[in-house]
Every structure is written in C-alpha cells, then in structure tokens.
Chain A
Amino acid sequence: DGGITQSPKYLFRKEGQNVTLSCEQNLNHDAMYWYRQDPGQGLRLIYYSQIVNDFQKGDIAEGYSVSREKKESFPLTVTSAQKNPTAFYLCASSIEILFRGSGNTIYFGEGSWLTVV
C-alpha cells in the first residue's frame, strides 16, 4: 500500500535524552513535513523539506533537528534542548511544496506519541 509510515507509534524519553522519530513515504513525493500537536490544539509546523538534501525551519524548530538524505525518508530528532517535548508528532508529504492546482494536497502519517518520563 502507498502511504506514509511513522515509527514508533509510542515512545518514552528520559530527561536529557535525544530521540529520533522515523518517517518513510513511498508516494514519490518531493515535499515532506513534520508537525507537532498538543492535546486539544491545532498543528504547528516544525520543519519541512522541499527536496532531497534541503530542509527549512518551520514555526517551532527550536530543540528539533531533521535530515533529508533520501527522498523517501525524513527523520526528526527531538533533542534535549526541547523544553517540553511531550506531544503527538505528525509526518506528512505532498507532491511538491506549491499547490499549483487541483490534485495536490498534503497526506499525513498515523503519528507518533512522545512522552517524557
């Protein structure tokens, strides 16, 4: 099946540890995104990538890092510098960064829950 796969679904992190969330897509999409969602809130953009070997900060990039070495993969690292990392993390992708017309939209993975213990 084509789609976006995030892993793990649930992750627990100790204070001071870095953790990496995996995101893989087989949709042949150029653009990929990471969002954070807090309970009862909307989505906030962390990082996005328009193409391989390129990525840009979103609205809340502090304490996070990403890489885009392959078209299919866009892992997110939550570093110890992120003060409040407990949240639901969503990976997404689209054909390209611009919605030039009908047929282009963002598709989301199933999300990863990160809890700091």
Chain B
Amino acid sequence: DAKTTQPPSMDCAEGRAANLPCNHSTISGNEYVYWYRQIHSQGPQYIIHGLKNNETNEMASLIITEDRKSSTLILPHATLRDTAVYYCTSPPHGTASKLTFGTGTRLQVTL
C-alpha cells in the first residue's frame, strides 16, 4: 500500500503560487495519486488526480516525478479562500474502500 508523507503546515502569500509536496515512495505502478482539500468544518473537496503524466484542471496542476515517488500540487495564484488542509492520498490497488486520509498539510494563505 502506498503510504504518503506531507509536511504538516505551509504558508503562502496571496497571489503567489503554492507548491504542496507529497512523498509516496511505495506507490505501485497502477495506483493513482489523489489530492483533496478540506476547509474547516466542511467535507473534503476533490482537486485533481494523476497516474504518470502531469495533470492540470481549473483548480490546480499536479506534477508527478518520473519515478512516481513524489508529487507536487500547484495552486498557481493562491487566494485567501485556498486556506485549507490539503490531503495527498492513493487508494491501494485502486480500491476506493481502502482510500485513507492522513493529517495532510495545513496551508495558510496570507495577505
């Protein structure tokens, strides 16, 4: 099973890019990396996921290293509303019932 490791907290100035790292050195070749975020007292919100290639959507970009041992979530122009806990996760063998969320990275966006 892919165990993920994230820094507990990060700060980012509003308008700057926020780069959130995640280590997943034990990930298997067919296991996706997923990113979610959770604003206080709300349910987690899906952001993006990827397997090998870099991915981009309207919320963020996901950069996965060639060896797939780590990834970086990029919020290109962080706003105060992006302040949240960000979770990197990978469901073992693609089994959704095994999807786990650790304590994530608390991103604080400041003026």
B97 touches A42 (CB 8 A): no
Q: Given A42-B102, A42-B104, A43-B100, does the pair A98, B95 have CB atoms closer than 8 Å?
A: yes
Residues in B neighbouring A48, C-beta threshold 8 A: 96-97
Residues in B neighbouring A99, C-beta threshold 8 A: 32, 91, 94-96
Chain A residues engaging chain B, CB cutoff 8 angstroms: 4, 6, 31, 33, 35, 40-43, 45, 48, 50, 56, 58, 88, 90, 92, 94, 96-100, 102, 104-111, 113
* Residue of B with least CB distance to A41: B103
A40–B40 Cα gap in the complex (Å)?
10
Give 3 closest A-B pairs by Cβ, nearest first: A108-B43, A99-B94, A43-B101
A100 touches B103 (CB 8 A): no
A109–B32 Cα gap in the complex (Å)?
22
Q: Given A33-B97, A94-B96, does the pair A105, B34 have CB atoms closer than 8 Å?
A: yes
Q: Given A41-B103, A42-B103, A105-B49, does the pair A100, B43 have CB atoms closer than 8 Å?
A: no
B42 is contacted by which of A41, A100, A111 (Cβ under 8 Å)? A111
B101 touches A107 (CB 8 A): no
Chain B residues engaging chain A, CB cutoff 8 angstroms: 32, 34, 36, 41-46, 49, 51, 87, 91, 94-97, 99-104
Q: Given A42-B101, A42-B102, A42-B103, does the pair A109, B94 have CB atoms closer than 8 Å?
A: no
B97 touches A108 (CB 8 A): no
Task: Sample 6 A-B pairs with CB under 8 A, ordered by A number.
Answer: A35-B101, A40-B103, A43-B100, A48-B96, A98-B94, A113-B41
A41–B104 Cα gap in the complex (Å)?
9
Distance in Å: Cβ of A46 to nearest Cβ of chain B: 11
A111 touches B41 (CB 8 A): yes
